[in-house]
Amino acid sequence: MAFYTAVDEQELLALLRHYGIDGLSSCTGASDGIENSTYFLQRGEQQWILTLFEDLSAAELPFFVRLMTWLHERGLPVACPLVDDRGEALHTLSGKPALLFPRLPGQHPRQTGSAQCAAIGDFLGRMHAATASYPEQRDNPRGTAWMEQAASRLAAHLDGEVRSLLDAQLANAHRLRALPMPCGLVHADLFHDNALFEGDRLTGVIDFYVACTDLLALDLAIVINDWCALPAGGVDPGKAQAILQAYERQRPLDPLERDHWQAILQLAACRFWLSRLLAEKLPARPGVNHPHKPSAEYLARLQFHL
């Protein structure tokens, strides 16, 4: 979550009246993220999250609204956009597309434990099993073609050894996506700061805005690379096992996924190494830095899996 766009107070209050919300006791902008402008709203004991989208267009957002609503209706702990008295979820504030959510209970875990890892593995397995029947698809905007474009843009900023590593990983991406492994709807960004917990109980999963159709095992590898991370770049085997066991109780991995598991972990690490390299070397918003997301972290993870 982040804070880039200021909201006009009267425009906001006019919108909230369509939700039956008559005034606010507080409206605070968040500042700890990357892509969107997020506000915490409160009236008495009631709390909401308002998100203004800096990059996604109003034409793109209905896919995510439908997906989050579909998952919520099937009992998964997913942040679900609220609809107003006209039955509409998507609005415009300060010239940006906007969604309003109830504020879910819980906090982002600062350090993940094995029980929390098991809970997120269970969630992901349930989500993948449920979306096997989901009627929509969306190409991965951070798929192999994007990786190739990113590598081309970064070429002048990388030395020969790093470029060779990247070339090998592009070949790995092509090889994996050519295999007949299970595909479906994936969250694609389920880091621990996109989950909420009360103790070891998962209370919510948020930020589905890069959800897409891709390898299911890639989604699992993304989770393991983040939730089980060790400071030196490795992966905690106990936490990884907790995620895998809980996941497989909901959706067992197939033989191809098992055979290519190390390569899938590499693909997951390379995707985030590239996106962080782009943010560092060629930032979309000059002057906006995110030192809490260094590319070196995911380069170390990739080298560990190699």
Gap between the Cα atoms of 72 and 128, Å rounded = 14
Instruction: List, in order, residues 6 or more apart from 254 with CB less than 8 Å away.
Output: 181, 182
Same domain, 129 and 89: no
| Confidence check: pLDDT of 276 > 50 | yes
Query: For 182-189, what is the mean pLDDT?
Result: 98
Question: Residue 56 is encoded by which pair of tokens?
Answer: 């996604």
Instruction: List, in order, residues 6 or more apart from 140 with CB less than 8 Å away.
Output: 146, 186, 188, 212, 213, 214
Same domain, 67 and 173: no
Using a pLDDT cut of 90, give the percent of the chain over it.
92
Residue 60 lies in a domain: yes
The 10 Å CB-count burial string (b at 16+, else e) for 56-95 is: beeeebebbbebbebbeeeebbbbbbeebeeeebbbebee
Residue 109 lies in a domain: no
What is the domain count for the chain?
2
Domain harbouring 270, CATH code: 3.90.1200.10
Same domain, 278 and 144: yes
pLDDT at residue 292 in the model: 74
Same domain, 128 and 219: yes
Residue 85 lies in a domain: yes
Tell me whether strands 46-52 and 96-102 are parallel, antiparallel or unpaired. antiparallel
Query: For 222-226, what is the mean pLDDT?
Result: 98
Query: For 251-271, what is the mean pLDDT?
Result: 98
pLDDT at residue 288 in the model: 60
pLDDT band at 107 (very low <50, low <70, confident <90, very high): very high
Closest CA to 266 of 217, 230, 231, 232: 217
| Confidence check: pLDDT of 1 > 50 | no
Query: What mean pLDDT is reported for the chain?
Result: 95
Give the model confidence (pLDDT) of 8-45 as tens digits: 999 999 999 999 999 999 999 886 656 899 999 999 99
The DSSP string of the chain is -B------HHHHHHHHHTTT----SEEEE--S-SSSEEEEEEETTEEEEEEE-SSS-TTTHHHHHHHHHHHHHTT--B------TTS---EEETTEEEEEEEPPSSB--SS--HHHHHHHHHHHHHHHHHGGG-----B-TTSHHHHHHHHHHHGGGS-HHHHHHHHHHHHHHHHHHTS---EEEE-S---GGGEEEETTEEEEE---TT-EEEEHHHHHHHHHHHHTB-TTS-B-HHHHHHHHHHHHHHSPPPHHHHHTHHHHHHHHHHHHHHHHHHHHHS-SSTT---TTS-HHHHHHHHHHH-
Gap between the Cα atoms of 188 and 191, Å rounded = 9
Domain harbouring 14, CATH code: 3.30.200.20
Same domain, 64 and 192: no
Give the model confidence (pLDDT) of 114-141 as tens digits: 999 999 999 999 999 999 989 999 999 9
Same domain, 279 and 162: yes
Same domain, 223 and 141: yes
pLDDT band at 143 (very low <50, low <70, confident <90, very high): very high
Q: Which of 49-63, 159-173, 240-254, 289-303 has the lowest mean pLDDT?
A: 289-303
Q: End-to-end CA distance of the chain, in Å? A: 32
Domain that holds residue 78: 9-102
